[in-house]
Amino acid sequence: MSVWLEPGDQNTSSGSMVDVAFKIDCQRLPADHASALTKALCKTLPWLADLKNTGIHPVHVAGSQNGWQRPEIEDNEELLLSKRTRLRIRVNKKYVDELINGLKDVTLSIDGYPLKVMEGRTNPLHSSATLFSRYTAYGDINTDDEEVFTRRIIEECEQLGFSPTKLLCGKSHLVSTNNGKITTRSLLIADIPIEKSLTLQDNGLGDHRLIGCGLLIPHKDTAAVN
């Protein structure tokens, strides 16, 4: 199910969250590493799990490089990281210094894979009329049911003061959690009023923010939602 109507008028909001991008020393990670990454980070910084809307982006790499194709999460394979790969954490602006200082020169074990965190840099969230989430999930509905999933997205957006008029659901992925695998779905929302873009990015959509679900990022176009 997709929604594609004409845009309407919305209210104004301001942003309170930022993404902190850390340089890392890590050559490989399991494709399905989000839960292990969250566990390692929260063991080092337990307060992360208590902060509202804090999100940990799964480490993302290019789709292809030197003939290598990025595996899907379900493939039980490894990601090959480059020196440009970053660890990104979305956090309230008030906690940026504490986050950067707390992780500097810390080596995490991600399911046995060492990942050394180096210096961090703040990346402000930018208003964008098109936002994308690689993984979106709800704990109480079947994400495989696209109609139910779309309806829940619309309801949650309306609670944030924005009625989506252009919404595309994409590919499903299984993501590991401490309680087993969950079904997630990629999501693209377009024609977002600029004054509501930061509201959506600040709050995210759905559940499981700490394993990277529901984190919205700017997207250049609506050509692909995979």
- Which CATH number belongs to the domain containing residue 117 in this structure? 3.30.70.1890
- For residue 104, list its beta bridge partners: none
Nearest to 118 by CA among 72, 158, 85, 167: 85
Q: What pLDDT band is residue 144 in, cutting at 50, 70 and 90?
A: confident
Sign of the CA dihedral with 180 first, then 27, 85, and 112 last? positive
Return d(Cα 205, Cα 138) in angstroms, integer.
9
pLDDT digits (tens, 9 = 90+) for 18-56: 999 999 999 999 999 999 999 999 999 999 999 999 999
Q: Which of 3-12, 153-162, 208-217 is the least confident region?
A: 3-12
Quickly state the pLDDT bin for 224 (edges 50, 70, 90).
Answer: very low
Show the tokens assigned to 78.
Answer: 């490894």
In 14-145, which residue ranges form alpha helices assigned H by DSSP? 34-44, 96-103
Is 101 in the same domain as 39?
yes
Residue 86's domain comprises 17-124
Name the more confident of 165 and 140. 165
Collapsing DSSP states into helix, strand and coil, what is residue 217?
Answer: strand
Mean pLDDT, residues 148-167 = 94
**Between residues 65 and 152, the one the model is more confident about:** 152
| Greater pLDDT, 116 or 77 | 116
Same domain, 84 and 170: no
Band (pLDDT 50/70/90 cuts) for residue 219 is confident
**What proportion of the chain, given as a percentage, has pLDDT over 70?**
85
Entry pTM: 0.87
Helix count and strand count (H, E) for the chain: 4, 14
Tell me what pLDDT residue 3 has. 60
Question: pLDDT: is 170 or 6 the higher one?
Answer: 170
User: In the chain, pLDDT over 90 holds for what percent of residues?
Assistant: 71
Q: Are residues 120 and 137 in the same domain?
A: no
> pLDDT-based confidence at 66, cuts 50/70/90?
very low
The pLDDT score that the predictor gives to residue 186 is 94
Q: What is the pLDDT of residue 7?
A: 44
We report the CATH number of the domain holding residue 137 as 3.30.70
Averaged pLDDT, 164-170: 93
Distances (CA, A) of 140 to 154, 164, 175: 16, 22, 16
* Angle, helices 96-103/34-44, rounded to nearest 10 degrees: 100
Backbone angles phi, psi at 203, to 5 degrees: -90, -35
- Structural domain includes residue 208: yes
The DSSP string of 78-91 is EEE--TT-EEEEEE
Of 75, 109, 124, the last residue of a domain is: 124
Specify whether 130 is located in the same domain as 69: no
User: Contact at 8 Å (CB) between 142 and 148?
Assistant: yes
pLDDT at 27: 94
Of 99, 124, 149, the position where a domain reaches its end is 124
CA gap 193, 6 in Å, rounded: 12
Q: Left if phi > 0, otherwise alpha if psi is -120 to 50, otherwise beta: which for 204? A: left
Q: Is residue 225 part of a domain?
A: no
Mean residue pLDDT of the chain comes to 87
Identify whether residues 27 and 99 lie together within a single domain.
Answer: yes
So what's the pLDDT on residue 9?
Answer: 37
